[in-house]
């Protein structure tokens, strides 16, 4: 496995942990962003193992779908979670006063954690 892949998986873990801490602090918009980035780094890590890199989030989303969802390596829920979390991140980052519920952010964080676990299993990371 590539060093960059491991680094991205570690970055995903840190981002998810940060989302958890940020949610506890009550900064739900920032927690949504960190949870999304956890998923984004996971997708980048998986694509990087296939020597695929993209400069835009949409490129990562599309390539993840093409190479991992349509091929059956990952359940379609991961693609849905990634795109949904991206939309929540956009709302959190760009809306002046976004309104999030704790339960919604907790769900995004749980999805990010599950995505990371699935990627680690796929990549045979211990």
CATH, residue 47? 1.20.120.330
Name the residue range of residue 79's domain: 3-122
Residue 126 scores a pLDDT above 80: no
- Residue-wise pLDDT tens digits, 2-31: 999 999 999 999 999 999 999 999 999 999
pLDDT, mean over the chain? 97
Cα 72 to the center of its chain, rounded Å: 19
Q: Which of 65, 20, 2, 10 is nearest to 41 (CA)?
A: 10
Distance between CA atoms of residues 85 and 60, nearest Å: 14
Q: What is the pLDDT of residue 97?
A: 87
Distance between CA atoms of residues 94 and 102, nearest Å: 19
| SS3 label, residue 50 | coil
């Amino acid at each position: 496995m590539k060093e960059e892949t491991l680094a991205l998986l570690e970055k995903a873990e840190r981002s998810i942990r940060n989302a958890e801490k940020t949610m506890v602090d009550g900064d739900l918009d920032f927690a949504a962003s960190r949870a999304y980035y956890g998923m984004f780094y996971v997708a980048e890590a998986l694509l990087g193992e296939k020597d695929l890199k993209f400069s835009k989030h949409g490129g990562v989303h599309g390539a993840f779908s093409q190479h991992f969802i349509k091929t059956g390596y990952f359940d379609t829920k991961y693609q849905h979670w990634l795109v949904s979390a991206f939309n929540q991140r956009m709302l959190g980052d760009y809306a002046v006063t976004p309104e999030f519920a704790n339960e919604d952010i907790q769900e995004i964080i749980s999805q990010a954690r599950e995505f990371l676990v699935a990627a680690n299993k796929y990549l045979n990371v211990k």
